[in-house]
Amino acid sequence: MTTPTSRSAADANPFAGLMPVRLWELFAELTTIPRPSRKEEAVLAWVDAWAAGRGFEIRHDAIGNRLVRVPGTAGRESAPIVALQAHVDMVSEKHSWSTWDPDAGRILIQREGDWLTAPETTLGADNGIGVVLMMYIAESTDVPHGPLELLFTVDEETGLTGAAQLDPSLITAPTLLNLDSEEDGILYIGCAGGADTTLHWKGQSRFVPDGWRGVSISVTGLVGGHSGGEIHLDRGNSLKILARTLREIGVRTPFCISAVSGGNKRNAIPREARAELALPPGPDAMVRVGEAVAASLEAARGHYATREPSVAITSLPGAPPASVNDEASTKQLVALLSAIPNGVLAMSQSIPGLVETSTNLAVVTTKPAAQGGEVSITSSSRSSDRQAMEEAVDTLASIGALSGCRIESFDKYGGWKPAPESNVVRLAAEVHLRLFGVEAPITAIHAGLECGLFAEKFPKIDMVSFGPDIRGPHAPGERVSISSTAKFVRWLGGVLTELSGERLT
């Protein structure tokens, strides 16, 4: 287990000397504001106060999205309106041992060379950097631009809810720049659609016989990551490793499951998982559990190698649970968890190296026995091909049906079809070439961008998505590149200047 960072490390100012100064001041302030998905009241109040303090017009819709109108700079008041967009919520993840907590606005931030990082939690650069970029541009006197519509959306991370329920009347701009991409110098012109599926399973319960013992099986130490942008890296999924461990145990000794849990965000690869078991009397059962855990750990280390250097699987004896699923139900639950697909299902045939379809076994919870002991298993599927996504969802539903599950599918959202001939894509690529002397690659992303929903609401809008380097979003250790952010400020400013009618030289 990684040792928690000492308090003294937090006393140094990681933002000292960073440029542009105002941009990093805004980001430092933002990291102290709680903003988990669906609990964005504090950050929205912060945005409102910022806009009101500068005399900008503020509008909002029923779901809580904010639209801030910024006048054009002198001489550009009549230029075409451009919308800039970012989401205010963040994925709040932390190591189980850490005392830092993004949900409370407490994030330990450190500077490591060119990176700002949160070693024990998520940093919130996804999409906090986009939020403060919009505010910085609006405040700046160094970036000529036409009238701007700054769109701050809510609840992106749990289902793109803000974009899905956006009041279309808020946006009048013919061009939208999405600031939610995470790779320096790359233009994104398409994204995957997706859907979540939950299988609700209930087994046959029984009381634990006298003499049986309890044991907890835990999977910890995994890297985790974004279930869209990092699914192709084949990192360990704690729930799949746990299922494999339970199969190993079942080969060696009978057991019954009381509860299974793991993961807490549908769009994050789960890093930890746990199962509570009851074992029959006698010392052999515990010995065989130890053998199974050792075998499963050896297999995980062999498969993942350097991708998961800290993977751990442990067994801890304890008091037996009051009730468990009987042996037949236990075998069915283990088979169900084992059968659920996870990872890349298909690669794109049109964009080399792009994942087309994937499924992430994301979250498993078990209700207490007093509430029926139901196990809920949520998977998040993504695809840039609508038919392939439907097939992925159908596969999950079919597996659930074979196990007698109640099936729930929700949070479906459409993809964004690439338009490489787009005017704003061409312009952004030209600006990058003139400023930095290299061409910007143009591609799509295997993740859900709000642009997919904007494309449905505004069929004629011209869009592109770009941003600075951010690594490890949705997992502790998330970091953002300082130099890449400074570079992106120049790129974004150049695009806005050209959109307002002035050609960069």
Exactly one of 156, 180, 182, 469 is catalytic; name it: 156
* H-assigned helices in 109-237: 125-139, 161-164
Q: Which of 315, 394, 333 is nearest to 359 (CA)?
A: 394
Distance CA 387, CA 381 (A): 12
Catalytic residue (choose from 89, 182, 230, 276): 89
Contacts of 394 (CB under 8 A, 6+ apart): none
What residue type is assigned to position 305 of the chain?
A
C-alpha span between 439 and 433 (Å, rounded): 5
DSSP per-residue string spanning 421-435: T-HHHHHHHHHHHHH
SS3 assignment, position 68: strand
CA distances from residue 275 to 217, 284, 363 in whole angstroms, order as listed: 5, 20, 13
Q: Count CB atoms within 10 A of the CB of residue 445.
A: 25
What Rg do the C-alpha atoms of the chain give, in angstroms? 24
Residue showing tokens 């329920």: 165
Is 394 marked active-site? no
Query: Could you confirm whether 385 is annotated as catalytic?
Result: no
Residue 481 β-bridge partners: 115
Q: What is d(CA 63, CA 112) in angstroms, rounded to the nearest whole number?
A: 38
Active site residues per annotation: 89, 156
